[in-house]
């Protein structure tokens, strides 16, 4: 680790879990209130993840929601291709990961025949604005070629490893915030170019029946959380009123009240500076066989 790097990092931890919490479980409220803001050395964060403790960003009032975000000093990236590309051996040979990652470990869903791993980057300084943290996460996902148009929740949590079977490498690296800012600039330039291309090539309808037909092609539980959230944002960008909320709730299959809470947090531009629109919904649907009429 660089001699000028900090010796401790700000991260929020919850008690250990032995598996994933099912969708709609009544345990979710208790879980969301269980995180404590801590300042720890990198090796101790690794130990807690190894023991199965979930992590997220610092937030106020002991309640994990975007409005309570205080700061983030870590960025997590999931690799779940279920082949050699999401194995520890492959990831540890990646030059960027080997240089800047702090911790690499197998996730709860990992199996030897279908490997899945998570990479945790610790930053030399925290990010204090939720929009900036979201931009940093999105840019890092873009860097590894797994990004969607979706912006990630600033208080997204990551499960720890599966106790007793977690494989982990502690690299003890610290990534400079300036490196993250440079990646954000590159990502935003690429995203702007992509949006111009989408605008030229595809102008989606705002007809609600056609939007519902597109949604029918997108499995709410068959996409990752970032994509799920992007679909809600896309619906909201076209139909911000009650009809749009009803359509979103019908599709999303979230826990009680989850969709409405997210819906109320979206700004008129989709909560992402206009980057996520209804075009994202149609893009995901077309990738799954939807044909625009």
Q: Residue 86 gets which letter from DSSP? A: G
Q: Examine residue 272 and state whether it is found in any structural domain, yes or no.
A: yes
Contact 114, 82 (CB under 8 A): yes
Q: Examine residue 193 and state whether it is found in any structural domain, yes or no.
A: no
In the structure encoding, which two tokens stand for residue 145, read together? 């070629």
What pLDDT was estimated at residue 204? 54
Residues 239 and 96 in one domain: no
What gap in Å lies between CA 105 and CA 55, rounded to an integer? 13
Strand order in the sheet with 58-59: 58-59, 69-79, 117-127, 103-106, 168-170
Q: Examine residue 2 and state whether it is found in any structural domain, yes or no.
A: no
Residues 225 and 183 in one domain: no
Residues 141 and 258 in one domain: no
Contact 266, 223 (CB under 8 A): no
Using a 10 angstrom Cβ sphere, with 0-12 exposed, 13-18 middle and 19 or more buried, the burial of residue 52 is: buried
Q: Where are the alpha helices (DSSP H) in the chain?
A: 28-32, 42-50, 88-92, 95-100, 130-143, 177-201, 208-215, 225-238, 242-252, 258-265, 278-287
Residues 251 and 216 in one domain: yes
Q: Examine residue 224 and state whether it is found in any structural domain, yes or no.
A: yes
What pLDDT was estimated at residue 272? 43
> 10 Å Cβ neighbour count for 228?
23
Residues 166 and 208 in one domain: no
What is the pTM (predicted TM-score) of this model?
0.69
End-to-end CA distance of the chain: 56
What gap in Å lies between CA 71 and CA 18, rounded to an integer? 27
What pLDDT was estimated at residue 276? 76
Residues 51 and 113 in one domain: yes
Residues 154 and 223 in one domain: no
What pLDDT was estimated at residue 147? 42
Residues 136 and 37 in one domain: yes
**Which residues are CB-contacts of 149 (< 8 A; sequence separation ≥ 6)?**
191, 230, 275, 276, 280, 283
Domain of residue 251, residue span: 202-287
Give me the number of domains the chain comprises. Answer: 2
Q: Nearest 10 degrees: CA dihedral of 138, 140, 144, 145?
A: 20
Using a 10 angstrom Cβ sphere, with 0-12 exposed, 13-18 middle and 19 or more buried, the burial of residue 60 is: exposed
| pLDDT block averages, 10 residues each, the chain of length 293 | 82 94 90 97 97 97 92 94 90 95 95 94 96 90 64 85 94 96 86 54 67 88 80 89 90 81 74 64 82 66
Residues 209 and 177 in one domain: no
Contact 217, 289 (CB under 8 A): yes
Q: Examine residue 293 and state whether it is found in any structural domain, yes or no.
A: no
């Amino acid at each position: 680790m660089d001699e000028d790097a900090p010796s401790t990092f700000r991260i929020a931890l919850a008690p250990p879990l032995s598996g994933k919490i099912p969708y709609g479980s009544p345990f979710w409220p208790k879980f969301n209130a269980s995180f404590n803001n801590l300042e720890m050395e990198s090796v101790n964060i690794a130990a807690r993840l190894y023991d199965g403790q979930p992590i997220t960003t610092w937030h106020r009032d002991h309640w994990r929601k975007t409005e309570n975000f205080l700061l983030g000093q870590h960025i997590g990236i999931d690799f779940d291709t279920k082949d050699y590309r999401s194995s520890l051996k492959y990831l540890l040979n990646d030059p960027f990961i080997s240089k800047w990652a702090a911790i690499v470990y197998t996730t709860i869903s990992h199996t030897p025949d279908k490997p899945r791993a998570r990479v945790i980057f610790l930053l030399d300084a925290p990010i204090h604005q939720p929009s900036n943290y979201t931009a940093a996460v999105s840019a890092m996902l873009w860097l590894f070629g797994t990004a969607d148009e979706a912006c990630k929740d600033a208080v997204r949590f990551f499960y720890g490893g599966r106790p007793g079977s977690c494989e982990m490498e502690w690299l003890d690296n610290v990534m400079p915030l300036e490196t993250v800012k440079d990646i954000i600039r590159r990502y935003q330039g690429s995203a702007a170019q992509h949006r111009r291309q989408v605008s030229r090539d595809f102008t989606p309808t705002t007809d609600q029946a056609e939007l519902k037909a597109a949604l029918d092609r997108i499995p709410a539980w068959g996409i990752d959380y970032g994509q799920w959230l992007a679909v809600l944002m896309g619906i909201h960008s076209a139909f911000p009123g009650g009809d749009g909320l009803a359509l979103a709730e019908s599709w999303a299959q979230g826990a009680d009240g989850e969709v409405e809470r997210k819906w109320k947090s979206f700004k008129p531009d989709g909560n992402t500076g206009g980057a996520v629109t209804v075009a994202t919904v149609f893009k995901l649907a077309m990738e799954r066989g939807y044909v625009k009429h």
